[in-house]
Chain A
Amino acid sequence: MSVLDKKAKIRTKNLNLYYGNAHCLCDITMDIPENAITAIIGPSGCGKSSLLRLFNRMNDLIPIARASGEAYLDDFSIYGKDTYVVELRKKIGMVFQKPNVFPMSIRENITLAPRRQGITNKAKLDEIVESTLNQVGLWNDFKDILGKPALNRSAGEQQRLCIARAIAINPDVILMDESCSALDPESTMKVEELMASLAKKYTTIIVTHSMEQARRVSDMSAFIMIDSEERIGRLVEYAPTMEMFSTPKDKRTEDYITGRFG
């Protein structure tokens, strides 16, 4: 089945983002396929991360940020009047650029959010810890040290723990904001393998500055660029990754992926 035949999990229509008076992203319209990996690529400062943060409304934390347009998770309006952002974020998990494990034990890092959602049964929590750590390939390393501080682990392990933490609340979508940029090559490889296996279950959207990574792991690619006159970020090209990297339709995409700028 081609990635284009997959059902759209997130749909945006003319989505715009403003920081104060600055128009940051203009008219982003895209359908993000379910259970596939979509990569957002583009030069530094083009608004890749801002776009990612539009999906789970993390931009809400910035007082001057304002979004307009439409975005849907299935039939659920992300920017609807009655949308409760906490419910939205339970459906759309996020992994950040630098591993941001909380200063508490490995176990608590994973169980914190489920507990806040009302799961108090210890057996159930143990099950969540084991299954999420299994999914990120850390169960064998961590099963005897669950009570130890998470901050003592290596950056690669911390980042995989952050992924485990994100899937512990059973989201539909996982956002990854340059999640390998702070990791060594070996850890990067592990996280990339993890992305591929998670994509079977979760719709995954990644932001990456590495075109190699986008080419290696993603099914769809979105190329974003700021046009030089208006200084506004636009979606230049959005296509299956294989297609974009072999036969880019837009001249600017071609220039970027062949390394002529950016």
Chain B
Amino acid sequence: MKSVKGDFSGKVFFVLALSSILALVVITVFILMKGLPLIAEVGLFKFIFSTTWAPGQGEYGIGAMILGSVIVTLGAAVIGVPIGICCSIFMAEMAPERMRKIFRPAIQLLAGIPSVVYGFWGLVFVVPFIREHLGGSGYSILAGSVVLAIMILPTIISISEVSIIALPRTYKEGALALGMTHWQTIYSVQLPAAKSGIVAAVILGIGRAIGETMAVIMVLGNAVIIPKSIIDPVRTLTTNIGIEMGYATGKHQEALFATGIVLFVVIMALNITAQYITRKKVKK
């Protein structure tokens, strides 16, 4: 009797666990089925590199959007990565215990704010600020990068901090015993030793930035153009889907799924890279 019962609950848990894997498979297959035919029809090269996006005339080129995603994400990384890494060093090595107890939950809270709220803050604060001080409409690459930079901070900070804290204590002791200052110890021993974790943190942060949709729709301006400066509006892969999916039909809808495939591949590649880097570290 007992073993039958155990078997039964085991099966229930197996099915439930399977469902999450199944979701991944179903979504992947669905996107591929919907999007691949269009990529085949247009041609992969033209789909990715053409900058003409005119669904009305049957022109499906996402080059401008890919460029937009890359620029906005790079901008977010340029602003967010140094701040994030410095913050993680401060938390791991410098902050007194009491301050750490306030900082850590505060940063977790930052991760919990809904992205639409970030977008709203960008809309009422960052966009007008750029319009008044730098010109243009304010809806711009810069606005998107600033908002995204803040949104990727929790990812970068928490993963970098953990990788610094997880270092053997003996590295720090060894360096200090050699007459190095605390700061010399941090930058010449601890940071190089934690390098793989910090790189993984940056990659995961970038993945988060590329995938973000709602917040950037609200501040980017969303024009399908090749931007000339960082205060020009731009459209990213995610915002393209977010804006047009509501009314797209037929080929147009397929083209949006195809955009999704590109996004999916990029983010998968980033995540796998990050996992590979951290796993290599553990092996050593």
Is B a genuine binding partner of A? yes
User: C-beta contact mask, B166-181 vs A, less than 8 Å → 1, else 0?
Assistant: 0010111111111111
- Provide the bound-state CA to CA distance between A162 and B175, in Å: 11
- Inter-chain contact B173/A58, CB cutoff 8 Å: yes
Q: Is B108 an interface residue (CB 8 A)?
A: no
- Inter-chain contact B177/A102, CB cutoff 8 Å: no
Known A86-B179, A86-B180: A116·B173 in contact at CB below 8 Å: no
- Inter-chain contact A102/B176, CB cutoff 8 Å: no
Give the interface segment out of A27-35, A92-100, A247-255: A92-100
- Provide the bound-state CA to CA distance between A58 and B184, in Å: 16
- Inter-chain contact A93/B173, CB cutoff 8 Å: no
| A103 interface neighbour in B173, B176, B179, B193, Cβ under 8 Å | B193
- Inter-chain contact B174/A102, CB cutoff 8 Å: yes
Residue with the highest number of chain A CB atoms closer than 10 Å, among B168, B171, B173: B173
Q: Is B188 an interface residue (CB 8 A)?
A: yes
- Inter-chain contact A112/B188, CB cutoff 8 Å: yes
Q: Given the complex, which residues of A lie within 8 Å of B172, measured CB to CB?
A: 61
- Inter-chain contact B177/A94, CB cutoff 8 Å: yes
Give residues 155-210 of B contacting A (CB, 8 Å): 168, 170-181, 184, 188-189, 192-193
- Inter-chain contact B178/A100, CB cutoff 8 Å: no
| B156 CB → nearest A CB, Å | 22
| B184 interface neighbour in A100, A116, A151, Cβ under 8 Å | A116
- Inter-chain contact A96/B174, CB cutoff 8 Å: yes
Tally A residues with Cβ within 8 Å of B: 26
Known A103-B192, A103-B193, A104-B192: A96·B173 in contact at CB below 8 Å: yes
| B170 interface neighbour in A93, A98, A112, A113, Cβ under 8 Å | A98
| B179 interface neighbour in A87, A98, A100, A151, Cβ under 8 Å | A87
Q: Given the complex, which residues of B lie within 8 Å of A58, measured CB to CB?
A: 173, 176-177
| B105 CB → nearest A CB, Å | 22
- Inter-chain contact A117/B171, CB cutoff 8 Å: no
User: C-beta contact mask, A99-133 vs B, less than 8 Å → 1, else 0?
Assistant: 01011100000001100110000000000000000
- Inter-chain contact B179/A169, CB cutoff 8 Å: yes
Q: Given the complex, which residues of A lie within 8 Å of B184, measured CB to CB?
A: 116
| B277 CB → nearest A CB, Å | 15
- Inter-chain contact A93/B171, CB cutoff 8 Å: no
- Provide the bound-state CA to CA distance between A89 and B179, in Å: 5
Q: Given the complex, which residues of B lie within 8 Å of A116, measured CB to CB?
A: 180, 184, 188
User: C-beta contact mask, B246-274 vs A, less than 8 Å → 1, else 0?
Assistant: 00000000000000000000000000000
Q: Is A241 an interface residue (CB 8 A)?
A: no
- Inter-chain contact B174/A89, CB cutoff 8 Å: no
Q: Given the complex, which residues of B lie within 8 Å of A104, measured CB to CB?
A: 192
Give residues 41-90 of A contacting B (CB, 8 Å): 56, 58, 61, 86-90
- Provide the bound-state CA to CA distance between A63 and B180, in Å: 19
- Inter-chain contact A96/B178, CB cutoff 8 Å: no
- 11 pairs, CB–CB < 8 Å, chain A vs chain B: A61-B173, A61-B176, A87-B179, A89-B179, A93-B177, A98-B170, A102-B171, A103-B192, A113-B175, A113-B180, A165-B178
A-side interface residues toward B, CB under 8 Å? 56, 58, 61, 86-91, 93-94, 96, 98, 100, 102-104, 112-113, 116-117, 151, 162, 165-166, 169
Report, nearest first, the 5 A-B pairs whose CB atoms are least far apart.
A90-B179, A100-B170, A94-B177, A113-B178, A89-B179
With A87-B179, A96-B174 already in contact, 15 other A-B pairs whose C-beta atoms are closer than 8 Å: A86-B179, A86-B180, A89-B178, A89-B179, A90-B178, A94-B177, A96-B173, A100-B168, A100-B170, A102-B171, A102-B174, A102-B189, A103-B192, A116-B180, A169-B179
